Chain A
Amino acid sequence: GDQVEQSPSALSLHEGTGSALRCNFTTTMRAVQWFRKNSRGSLINLFYLASGTKENGRLKSAFDSKERYSTLHIRDAQLEDSGTYFCAADPNAYKVIFGKGTHLHVLP
């Protein structure tokens, strides 16, 4: 079936550094979304992309539908960026499927 493969499953970064999370898709997706789980366990939407790139502060996301992947870049990581990040993608207009998440730990 349709799958979203997210990597890495866990990531440790020192404050001030950066890295990228990636999702590969087994089929062509209409759009991708990136979420972060907050301290109360709620999912907060970071980005929605149908194509191209978007940037918001220290976060930048890209989506290539043809090549079937999306990335989330974090730069100048801060302690408060620690948490679990999820990508999700739309194989059709009425379904959004999720990756397994990346546990990010920002170290002092």
Chain B
Amino acid sequence: DPKIIQKPKYLVAVTGSEKILICEQYLGHNAMYWYRQSAKKPLEFMFSYSYQKLMDNQTASSRFQPQSSKKNHLDLQITALKPDDSATYFCASSQDRSQNTLYFGAGTRLSVL
């Protein structure tokens, strides 16, 4: 049973539209993260949250907005989508700041046409 659920697995969007990527973790962790992997690039850190509060943000664009409605949820809203946003987006979680062994979801592959 996957303990970190990302939905959808695949997503196709048109340029200019808005999408929300869902992430839920059932590991009882207090910290959650978003990463992005574009073609031929390393896994790129985007955001980290701890107890539903933003801790670190590496994303330049305000078009990317995490949303945490519950402690075990960290969704990612992306507005005004561009073709360059096409990538696989991975959600991860860790126990907390003192022990941040990461556990990853299976990813959402986003294609922007």
Contact = CB atoms under 8 A, between A and B. Distances in A.
Interface of A: 4, 31, 33, 35, 40-43, 45, 48, 86, 88, 90, 92-101
Interface residues of B, number: 26
Contact of B101 (A4, A33, A95, A99): A33
A41 B97 CA distance: 26
Contacts of B31: 94
B43 A98 contact: yes
A74 B98 CA distance: 28
Interface string B17-30: 00000000000000
Contact of A45 (B50, B90, B102): B102
> Chain B contact residues: over half helix, strand or loop, or mixed?
strand
B45 A45 contact: no
Contacts, number: 58
Contacts of B104: 35, 42-43
Given A43-B90, A94-B31, A96-B45, A88 B55 contact: no
Given A40-B106, A96-B33, A48 B56 contact: no
Nearest to A43: B104
B72 interface: no
B103 A96 contact: no
